[in-house]
Amino acid sequence: MGIQVNTAKHKDTIYIDEYDYFLPDERIAKYPLAKRDNSKLLVYKGGEIAESKFLSVAEYLPKNTLLVYNNTRVIQARLIFTKNTGAKIEVFCLEPLKPVDYAQALGAVGECEWKCMVGNLKKWKEGSLSKEIAVSGKKCTFVAELINTEGNTHLVKFTWNNPEIHFADILENAGELPIPPYLHRKTEESDLTTYQTVYSKIKGSVAAPTAGLHFTEDVFESLKPKNIQIEELTLHVGAGTFQPVKTQDIADHQMHTEVISVNRTTIANIQKNLGSIIAVGTTSVRTLESLYYLGTSLNVDLSPAHGNNTLLREGEGSRSLHVSQWQPYTLNNHEEITSNRALQNILNYLDANNLTALHAETQILIKPGYKFHIVNGMITNFHQPKSTLLLLVSAFVDGNWKKIYDYALANNFRFLSYGDSSLLLANSKNAEINEIV
């Protein structure tokens, strides 16, 4: 029997129960395949479904496609402390607060502060936690102090007494890789390799951009005969990405904030290839679509006819480089601009500030009814029921997610992070194609 949903809803309301389906535990891939590119591939285009292996993904990608992937690398963000009583406290580092920049926080010496989740918090009501750590023969006492609490997250200050040791060293030597909780197992040595993409390099994520786990050198070689270009960007994946929505109405759901970084050369190449952009993973989708709304917030007309030859510089005015979760749904008609123009606005902003990369934050929520401005196709895994990722997929395939997931369930596809993949290609009506001003 196919996935059943209640289609009766208010036009402005999206009930998360309509994006639920039964996922048997045995369909969740607990481990990856021995060879990454042997995973199954579901191809969806024009309402039709085909099945193949990921090694053959190039056969289904249009010629001259620009493939964009997320180069973030998962950090060993889970720290376990043992109190004198024997109680174990888990401190899960979510994002840096002081310093707020990931590179600076991971390179910090002596102290730093992070937003964290804390397991077994009831056993850590006061005082500090500490443990002895050795890094390449250098020792230190590593201390965690609970500063304050906001909602279900906590501000934790970390200090250590060896100036030769960076925070990244501590995580790599004392932290655990945070594999998804739905795997219902402990992190194993093999996960240190298999839960990273082969192209990961910028440390900062607490969860992997799992669509990229299928790529191998053989797959990249297969792209070359079709003149498929590759670009990379960075979105550091937060723990909230894969969390099920807990509110009945999606309007009540609060999206998490994630940090993105895109090089100027990448943005220029995306602009050049509008109409041929395939995103690897939902994190890349969110980053690319966020570029459009960042560009609209920088929409300053530079033409002499309008008597305006200045551009907002970094730190000026009230605009900030941040995309709120509802921004895509609040633009007035006169505020909408072409994708080409939005990207040009970003390029102008970078040039005016002598910047080689765009750094920003996004809370973008892509839900059914969203109009895609940059992305023409995506490679993505099969996602949890009642998740914002499933809402994103539904938005992209014009609501036909049930057909895709019914097929995957009926044909022994493996689900979630270590599971199989899909290539979703947009209908022309669902994407903004080759807009030039």
Residue 257 · residue 94 · CB < 8 Å? no
Domain boundary among 141, 176, 211: 176
Residue 408 in tokens: 């995957």
pLDDT band at 320 (very low <50, low <70, confident <90, very high): low
* Residues 320, 251 share a domain: yes
Query: Do residues 300 and 385 share a domain?
Result: yes
Number of domains comprising the chain: 2
Range of the domain at 257: 16-73+196-430
β-pairing, 357-362 vs 258-263, is antiparallel
Q: Which of 148, 176, 204 finishes a domain?
A: 176
- Give the number of residues written for the chain: 437
Nearest to 3 by CA among 18, 14, 15: 18
pLDDT at res. 242 = 59
Name, in order, each residue with C-beta under 8 angstroms of 326's C-beta and a sequence gap of 6 or more: 365
Identify the residue whose tokens are 């009930």.
15
95-139: pLDDT as tens digits: 999 999 899 999 999 999 999 999 999 999 778 999 999 998 999
Answer yes or no: is 279 within a domain.
Answer: yes
* Same domain, yes or no: 132 and 55: no
**Does position 3 have pLDDT exceeding 70, yes or no?**
no
Structure tokens at 409: 């369930």
Are the C-beta atoms of 244 and 391 separated by less than 8 Å? no
Q: Are residues 58 and 100 in the same domain?
A: no
Q: How confident is the model at residue 427 (pLDDT cuts 50, 70, 90)?
A: low
The answer on 354 and 284 residing in a single domain is yes
The rounded distance, in Å, linking the Cα atoms of 259 and 87 is 34
Predicted pLDDT at 150: 86
Tens of pLDDT, residues 367-423: 999 999 999 999 999 999 999 999 999 999 999 999 999 999 999 999 999 999 999
CA separation for the pair 281, 211 (Å, rounded)? 5
- For the segment 324-376, what is each residue's pLDDT rounded down to a tens digit? 999 999 887 767 899 999 999 999 999 999 999 999 999 999 999 999 999 99
Burial 140-178 (b: 16+ CB within 10 A, else e): bebbbebeeeeeebbbbbbbbebeebbbbbbbeebbbbb
- Over the stretch 213-255, which tens digit does the pLDDT of each residue have? 999 999 999 999 999 999 999 999 987 765 678 888 888 888 8
Q: Three-state SS across the chain? A: CCCCCCCCCCCCCCEHHHHCCCCCHHHECCCCCCCHHHCEEEEEECCEEEEEEHHHHHHHCCCCCEEEEECEEECCCEEEEECCCCCEEEEEEEEEEECCCHHHHHCCECEEEEEEEEECHHHCCCCEEEEEEEECCEEEEEEEEEEEEECCEEEEEEEECCCCCEHHHHHHHHEECCCCHHHCCCCCCCHHHHCCCCCCCEEEECCCCHHHHHCCHHHHHHHHHHCCEEEEEEECCCHHHHCECCCCEHHHCCCCCEEEEEEHHHHHHHHHCCCCEEEECHHHHHHHHHHHHHHHHCCCCCCHHHCCCCCCCCCCCCCCCEECCCHHHCCCHHHCCCHHHHHHHHHHHHHHCCCCEEEEEECCCCCCCCCECCCCEEEEECCCCCEHHHHHHHHHCCCCHHHHHHHHHHCCCCECCCCCEEEEECCHHHECCCCCC
Q: Are 329 and 270 found together in one domain?
A: yes
Residue 9 pLDDT level (bands cut at 50, 70, 90): very low
Residue 5 belongs to some domain of the structure: no
Residue at 156 is within a domain? yes
What is the amino acid identity at position 18? E
Enumerate residues 6+ apart whose C-beta is below 8 A from 412: none
Gap between the Cα atoms of 336 and 302, Å rounded: 17
Whether residue 247 is found in the same domain as residue 380? yes
Cβ-based neighbour number of residue 22 at 10 Å:
10
The verdict on 237 and 351 lying in the same domain is yes
Check whether residue 45 and residue 168 sit in a common domain.
no
Measured in degrees and rounded to the nearest 5, phi and psi for residue 98 equal -150, 105
Is residue 10 situated within a structural domain? Answer: no
Query: Do the beta carbons of residue 421 and residue 214 sit within 8 Å?
Result: yes
Of 319, 338, 401, 343, nearest to 367 by C-alpha is: 401
pLDDT in tens, 247-303: 888 888 888 888 999 999 999 999 999 999 999 999 999 999 999 999 999 986 544
- β-bridge mates for residue 43, sequence order: 50, 423
Residue type present at position 346: I
Residue 190 lies in a domain: no
CA distances, 278 to each of 58, 62, 122, 274 (Å)? 12, 10, 46, 10
Same-domain status, 158 and 202: no
Q: In whole angstroms, what is the distance from residue 21 CA to residue 14 CA?
A: 16
Average pLDDT of the chain to the nearest whole number: 89
Burial of 100 per CB tally in 10 Å (0-12, 13-18, 19+): exposed
Report pTM: 0.89
Q: How far apart (Å, rounded) are the C-alpha atoms in residues 435 and 224?
A: 27
- Report the CATH number at residue 412: 3.40.1780.10
Q: Are 152 and 202 contained in the same domain?
A: no
Phi then psi for 250, rounded to 5 degrees? -60, -20
- What is the pLDDT at residue 246? 83
At 23 the pLDDT is 97
